A and B are shown apart, each in its own frame.
Chain A
Amino acid sequence: MFSGRLQEQYTDSTQQSETAQLGMWVFIATEVMFFGVLIFSYMIYRVAYPEQFRLAGHDSFILLGSINQALLITSSLTMVLAVRAAKADQQRALVLLLGVTAALGLAFLGVKGFEYAKDAAAHSVPVVDYIFKPGEHRPTEIFWCFYFVATGLHAIHLSVGIALVLILLVRASQGAFSPGYDAPLEVIGLYWSFVDCVWFFLFACIYPLGRAGP
């Protein structure tokens, strides 16, 4: 997948690496639109049904959401340190840091799965297993629908990221990366950090609701 050799349409490896990063930024712009429109639809309903969304948001598990955010933030750090290690030709550190990054990503998925189980136990799964708490009406289902769609899509993106990091890990352990060739690390590092950023906004949408006041 990452051949390491200079492709024929480029004049040198710097141009190739810079171009690959530019391509990832373009892709990130499309992802901003993708998640952005989802958050937009969420905001419309939150403004339309503020009380219902507060009631619904109260039942989300802010501790688990926070743990997950901390995991992702740390994984962004380890990923950028991995790229740094490649640039400094520290092969062992590179492999280790990639491994930690992937592990943190997997930990996120584990916590998320646990959280989904708790959501199901609390009967917060729309249509499938949903009970209206006192004072709740239909719009709370819209909140939970958004919750599952948004976190589900995010989890899919994260899973793709984990798979890519694992591929990088295998390649790195075979010595594929060096100060002269680290484009795939940079590019996937960008993707990884972006998936982290998406979670910042999803967190703001889902977890802080309905905890203030009586």
Chain B
Amino acid sequence: MSARMPPEPVGPYVIGWAVLLLLLGLSVLAAYEPIGPIFQPIVHFGIAATQTAIVFILFMKLRGRPSLKWVFAAAGFFWLMFLFGLSTVDYATRSGFPLR
């Protein structure tokens, strides 16, 4: 383990960096497009999720064989779905909020 290894290629990381900046630009452009209140969060959060996936897979090295790391990486997001989903059942079917 102490042997010096040839450095892994820089290319993928730089490409990833460029793609992330591109997605940022896309997000900014989309902000100025009238895509409507339903698509707007979908587009912007979709871009954020894509950027996160790139960082997770490329920079945080979540690749290769599926492993325990993947389970923990996904666990938080998966669990958030329960929070979002079950609470939304209440908000979607309740008439008392918002008041005005």
Contact = CB atoms under 8 A, between A and B. Distances in A.
Interface of A: 12-14, 21-22, 25-26, 28-33, 36-37, 40, 43-44, 46-50, 54, 62, 66, 69-70, 73-74, 76-77, 79-81, 84-85, 87-90, 178-180, 189-190, 193-194, 196-197, 200-201, 203-204, 207-209, 211-213
Given A28-B72, A180-B1, A193-B59, A212 B32 contact: yes
A178 B4 CA distance: 9
A73 B7 contact: no
Interface of B: 1-8, 10, 13-14, 16-17, 20-21, 24, 27-28, 30-35, 37, 40-41, 44-45, 47-48, 51-52, 55-56, 59-60, 68-69, 72-73, 75-77, 79-80, 83-84, 87, 91, 97-98
Contacts of A89: 4
Give chain B's interface secondary structure class.
helix
24 contacts: A33-B76, A33-B79, A33-B80, A36-B76, A36-B83, A40-B87, A43-B41, A44-B91, A70-B21, A76-B17, A77-B17, A178-B2, A179-B4, A179-B5, A180-B1, A189-B60, A193-B55, A193-B56, A194-B60, A201-B48, A203-B24, A208-B31, A211-B32, A212-B31
